[in-house]
Structure 1
């Protein structure tokens, strides 16, 4: 099925659903197929700053979820992934002189890990959650900890999640905000 036919069917389905579900009709603007094909596949994320705002939103969500729940663990992984993916977004917007310094994205990633301890941790969490374990230069010092903090009167065990880097223990929020703050300052300095 070609793109124009797919768009037509999408619009028909939206109108059908709006009619039978009693939803207010909304005007749906679909870009012309030629410009549509040139769009990213990232919904509204277009620039590094957009990804940074997403990271900020992810961390805000993390803070609303009770830290002893599995949902908190899932959201912490989402935050780590978003923080580490910022490398891709920022690298894409580097100016020519920065590109000469970092001709390959791998070199840029290594530079970022050396500059920001929080992102070194996020890289470990993001890649380990994606691949189950790390095979590419894992840090033996970085790990996650789930600690039983107390038992409620009803017998429910309340756990707390932490990150350990071989020297100190950090809350997930501390790691994620540290990564966010690094990227915010980095983007400000690069004016991206």
Structure 2
């Protein structure tokens, strides 16, 4: 399947002319990487700047599932199901459940990203919340965002980075365009493969 051949998705027409980017999922991987970096280096004394950067990360990390699903043909979806230890997907909702089960970080991104973007969350988990933390070290004020999952607190950047790695692995596994460049970003993957040999 060529990306130029994609006309209709399960939920409407894909119109790449509105995307302001390259028109395939690698643009979303790049966007997520950029947003994580922006959140990491944010030293703005206004907490809103750090919060907005975190919000963007959550939304992008969750919506990677739309891009992966919409740009996967039937063979790729079958391969994706095998990769996630599922017999097959009947719908994108099946994929959504499987990826959240396989990666708790993506599940957290769904909770936060959906609430941020759409206000209400279907299948809401009230045990997932967020908290903004203020710190002042040697007169340098900074803020961080914690994603609270029950009794466990996660730095938001760690959650988004874990989601990014899972999406990158799927991207490489399905051999989307430019998958070799994505693979090259993760030297530890080659080390793990070499140690298995």
Same fold (TM over 0.5): yes
Distance 1:174 1:104 in 2: 29
Distance 1:40 1:65 in 2: 31
Distance 2:141 2:27 in 1: 38
State the 4+ residue runs in structure 1 displaced beyond 6 angstroms. Answer: none
Equivalences for 1:33-72 in 2 at 5 Å? 39-66=16-43, 69-72=47-50
Larger radius of gyration: 1
Q: Is 2:96 aligned against 1:109?
A: yes
Q: Which residue of 1 aligns with 2:158?
A: 174
**Which deviates more, 39-48 or 157-166?**
157-166
Q: Is 2:126 aligned against 1:140?
A: yes
Q: CA deviation at 1:62?
A: 1.1
Find the residue that maps to 2:17 and give its secondary structure. coil
Report Cα offsets for 1:26-56 as digits up to 9, x if no partner. Answer: xxxxxxxxxxxx6431011411111101111
TM-score by length of 2: 0.68
Unaligned runs of 5+ in 2: 1-14, 79-87, 177-197
Q: Which residue of 1 aligns with 2:74?
A: 96
Distance 1:176 1:67 in 2: 20
Matched-pair contact (CA < 8 Å) for 2:16–2:23: no
TM-score by length of 1: 0.70
Q: CA deviation at 1:168?
A: 1.7
**Which deviates more, 106-115 or 39-48?**
39-48
Q: Is 2:116 aligned against 1:129?
A: yes
Distance 1:151 1:102 in 2: 50
Find the residue that maps to 2:133 and give its secondary structure. strand
Q: Which residue of 2 aligns with 1:161?
A: 145
Q: CA deviation at 1:106?
A: 1.4
**Count of residue pairs brought into register by the alignment:** 152
Distance 1:157 1:181 in 2: 30
Q: Which residue of 1 aligns with 2:105?
A: 118
Q: CA deviation at 1:74?
A: 0.4
Q: Which residue of 1 aligns with 2:84?
A: none
